[in-house]
Amino acid sequence: MFTVHPLVILFSFTGAVSYLFAIDRKRRVLKDLWFYLFLFLLIAAANPLVSHNGVTPLFFLNGQAVTLESLLYGVVLAFMLSAVLAWFGSFNRVVTSEKILFLLGKVSPKLSIVLSSALRFLPLLRRKAGEIRSAGKAVGLYASESWWGRVRSGLSAVSALVTWSLEQAVETGVSMKARGFRLKGRTHFSAFRFSGKDLAVLIFILAADAIVFTALGTGSLQFAFYPRIALEAPGVLAVISLAALLLLFLLPAVLEIGENIKWRYYRRKI
């Protein structure tokens, strides 16, 4: 259930990056991509240095072949990792704690509350630390020139932060109890509704998945870089599953861009 087919990885990368551009501001996405490029180059350069298999040696480094195959394999692996990073980046932007609560709330309310508060905790802590630091600066905490003075300022800021987070935890617990958390007969409210459109998308995703997993299971999407890059014409099943994968990967971006166009159109009419 694993493939390094270059087309699959290219489709995945294209889908992930176009979705990132659809949901976020261009400058922030470009900042992310800049970091991916750095990782990309690192991986693409590292693979030919550690893997010397392949029928096309380009040159020999300390008695080991640096081959075209391992170079291309490195590039494909780099694309794969960048695609994974981009997908997780979009996951972080799209799946908010509200959605996690909605999805897991009925299965396990405990797990979902732990998950969402844990996910919320770190950014909250960071924001509070910044607040405490600026407040400390305002009352002259970090003014001392000496090393020990600065350490003491930092320690008092940390102590304030710990106190605050403990208090916050207790307050959260009390507040949840007051609102009737885990009482019997409690109902949920969520803004999500399962519409006919959702059903259509779900059926499409399941159908595409079925095709892709069939192709993976029968080995139609196998691709070998070593010892020689297999440039064979793909079979019928491989072509169908590649098309399904392309649609699957582009689906989020297409839906998002379609909604954006609709939104702009409606706004113009107001």
Q: Residues in the site for other proteins, rule: CB under 8 A?
A: 34-35, 38, 42, 52-53, 55, 57-65, 219, 222, 224, 226-228, 230
Residue spans of alpha helices (H) in the chain: 6-23, 26-50, 68-94, 97-104, 109-138, 147-178, 196-217, 236-269
Residue with smaller CB distance to other proteins, 225 or 249:
225
**Are 67 and 229 a contacting pair, CB within 8 Å?**
no
Local structure of residue 184 (DSSP, 8 states): T
Buried b vs exposed e over 227-255: b needs ≥16 C-beta within 10 Å?
A: eebeeeebeeebebbbebbbebbbbbbee
The distance of closest approach from Cβ of residue 62 to other proteins in the complex, given in angstroms and rounded to an integer, is 5
Which of 53, 92 has the CB closer to other proteins?
53
State the minimum distance, in angstroms, from the CB of residue 203 to other proteins.
34
Cβ partners under 8 Å of residue 144, min gap 6: 150, 152, 153
Q: How many CA atoms, within 13 angstroms, populate the side-chain half-sphere of residue 50? A: 8
Cβ 76 to other proteins, closest distance in Å? 15
Length of the chain: 270
Closest separation in Å from C-beta 49 to other proteins:
10
Give least dist CB 175 to other proteins, A: 39
d(CA 50, CA 68): 13
41 vs 135 by CB, closer to other proteins = 41
Instruction: State which residue, 58 or 125, has the beta carbon closest to other proteins.
Output: 58
> Between residues 17 and 65, which has the closer beta carbon with respect to other proteins?
65
Place of tokens 């391992």: 70
